[in-house]
Structure formats: structure tokens, C-alpha cells
Amino acid sequence: MKIRGETQSVLITGATGSFGNAMVSSLMANKKVSKIVVFSRDELKQYEMRKRFQNNNKLRWFLGDIRDESRLARAFRSIDIVIHAAALKQVDTAEYNPIEFVKTNVYGSQNVIEAAIDCGVKKVVALSTDKASSPINLYGATKLTADKLFISAKSYSTPKGTKFSVVRYGNVGGSRGSVIPHLLDLNRRGLPLTVTDMGMTRFHIRLEQAVDLVHFALRSMSGGELFVPEIPSYRLKDLVSAINPKAKIDVVGVRPGEKIHEEMISLDEGRRTYYLNKCFAVVPENFIKPVNARKVPTGFYYTSDNNPRFLNLKELKEEVNLIEGKLYS
């Protein structure tokens, strides 16, 4: 991230997750970042993270829950940039515990907005998911609501006040709870690879690409944009072959709230979408055209099955080997 001028303080909610760890590593190397606040509710993960980063003097450790607005207000004092990664994320868990997801993903997001404005935070970038586009499950619906809260938050801030933007991306290869580590674990134990539907497609993004997208948003945002990366898709049947072409397959059927193909930009959002360098920007109505951007064609939408870029089997094997090396090294 290229931060100009004076040094900046950065706070990351949900910072003990996969993304948070990668983002902290990235920020630690930036001389313009004077302080990094790790905000999360899990003391064990914070303890493990402190050991990993050897108690670097740039880091601050703040226990708290985004459901607690007063705790956020305390944490956001003297913070310039907030990266909001805290969320409940498991699709099937959300279907059984809907109100808990609403409390964290919706009410918690509004708490982040209120605290950021009240504390004079300069920029807020919130992390979203492909499941927020045309959602069919509770998790996606809560994230779509959160997206709209952040995009509309500029209405509550002064013209020179807090800027809010959102980044939306697909499955992060190797992140906790994602499909590739799950299938790798089954394969290492010699068990059948359980898949829901062999016709499925998914977007694929590396963790470092997700971090780069947030950096891009912080550099480019005017406030109100939803940034979507241009990334490849893969077919589930190809992923299974990349892991073990001889493995026994156990097709268990589509889970509640699961899509066959994921979507990152809907047909309706396509009307308000511009293409930047390897990235799309979905903007609100009457938004000034982003600098160095071009309007996408009429009828544009972006789904994992209509994506012009698919990972081939060789590329998938490389991704799988890379993830396996990180998991079991």
C-alpha cells in the first residue's frame, strides 16, 4: 500500500483469520504504517499471532467484538484506516443460526460504520464475498446487507469525512473452511473425496491477491465503490482430478443455500460497473466515473461459469501443490 505523507495507523477487525494474518504481514513491511491494531474476540488466536510476529512493536492487541459499539469506539481512537474483515462465514451454519449471523454481519457492520465516523477514521474498506451477489443463502444475504450499509455510509459522513468502500472476491484458496484444504485432508487420510455436485464452478483467488485488492482499494477509493477483482474460475471436477485423479468420489448433493455457480457482479450491477486495471468497480447511481476506467458492455455480468478465464488442470495442480505445501510444511 502506498501511503503518502505522514505515517498512518491501521486497525483490522477479525485480524486473527487467514486474511488478517496476511494483511498484517503486508503492513508490517510498510514504513508509512506506524501502528497496526489487531482487533478480534479470540484470545487464543491473538496469543498464537503474537508469537508468530514476535511481539513486533508496531502491533497492538485489542480484544473485542464488533457487536459491541462502545468497544469499537475505544479501539478506533487515533486510527486512520480500518479494514473490516470480521464476519461469521459458514453457509450451512448460517442456515441453522440465522440471527447470530445478522447480529455480527449486519449489526456489527453498522457498529463499525458508526464508530469510524464518530472517531474520524479516514478510510474504511470492508471485505465481502461472491455469495453477496444475488444471494440465495442467509450468509450471502447478511453480507449483501453489509455491503449496502458501507456503500451508503458516505451519506452519513461529511464530504471530507470518512470514506467507505467494499471489496468483493471469491473463494480464497487455502483459507480455513474452504474446499481445497478439506479435499486435501480427505485425500491424505485415504478417504473418498466428498463433493456436492461435479458440475459446480467456483472463482479462485490467492490470499496475497486478496491483500493486493485491499491495497488497491485504499489507493483508488473515492468512497462508495465496490471493487471486484478479475480472477479465474475452476471446475470442481478438475479440482478433484488435480488432487487425486484415482480417488474415489462421494457425491453428497448440494447443501442448503449452496449455488452451482457463484456470482460476483449481477446483471443489474453490470449497468453500474467500470473496468479498471485487472479490477471492476461497481459504483452507486449518479457516481462520477472512476479515473482511468471504461464502462463494461451492455448486458455484462460476472459469474464463475461465464468467466472467460478458467484454470486448466496443470494450473490447478500448481495451486493445489502450493496450498498443500503451506498447510503441511
pLDDT in tens, 112-156: 999 999 999 999 999 999 999 999 999 999 999 999 999 999 888
Instruction: State the Cα–Cα distance between residues 101 and 167, nearest whole angstrom.
Output: 19
Is residue 291 within 8 Å of residue 217, measured between CB atoms? Answer: no
Instruction: State the Cα–Cα distance between residues 204 and 311, nearest whole angstrom.
Output: 9
pTM: 0.93
Instruction: State the Cα–Cα distance between residues 207 and 230, nearest whole angstrom.
Output: 14
**Does residue 117 lie in a domain region?**
yes
**Does residue 197 lie in a domain region?**
no
The burial class, CB within 10 Å (0-12 / 13-18 / 19+), for 160 is exposed
Q: How many domains does the chain divide into?
A: 1
Neighbours of 316 (CB within 10 A): 23
pLDDT score recorded for residue 5? 52
**Does residue 145 lie in a domain region?**
yes
Residues 6 or more apart in contact with residue 229 via CB below 8 angstroms: 167, 169, 205, 209, 213, 278, 279, 280
| Least confident span in 165-169, 199-203, 287-291 | 287-291
**Does residue 54 lie in a domain region?**
yes
Residues 6 or more apart in contact with residue 127 via CB below 8 angstroms: 19, 83, 84, 85, 87, 166, 167, 210, 214
**Does residue 95 lie in a domain region?**
yes
For residue 113, give the CATH number of its domain.
3.40.50.720
Where in the sequence is the domain holding 95, given as residue range(s)? 8-171+205-230+263-303
Mean pLDDT of 324-328: 88
Neighbours of 93 (CB within 10 A): 15
Is residue 117 within 8 Å of residue 49, measured between CB atoms? Answer: no
Model confidence over 292-314: pLDDT tens digits?
899 999 999 999 999 999 999 99
Q: How many residues does the chain have?
A: 329
**Does residue 271 lie in a domain region?**
yes
**Does residue 319 lie in a domain region?**
no
Q: Which residue among the candidates 89, 123, 131, 163 is catalytic per the annotation?
A: 131
Neighbours of 58 (CB within 10 A): 16
Q: Is 131 a known active-site residue? A: yes
**Does residue 255 lie in a domain region?**
no
Instruction: State the Cα–Cα distance between residues 183 and 243, nearest whole angstrom.
Output: 8
Structure confidence at residue 92 as a pLDDT band (50, 70, 90): confident
Average pLDDT, the chain: 93
Q: How far is CA 242 from the centre of its chain?
A: 25
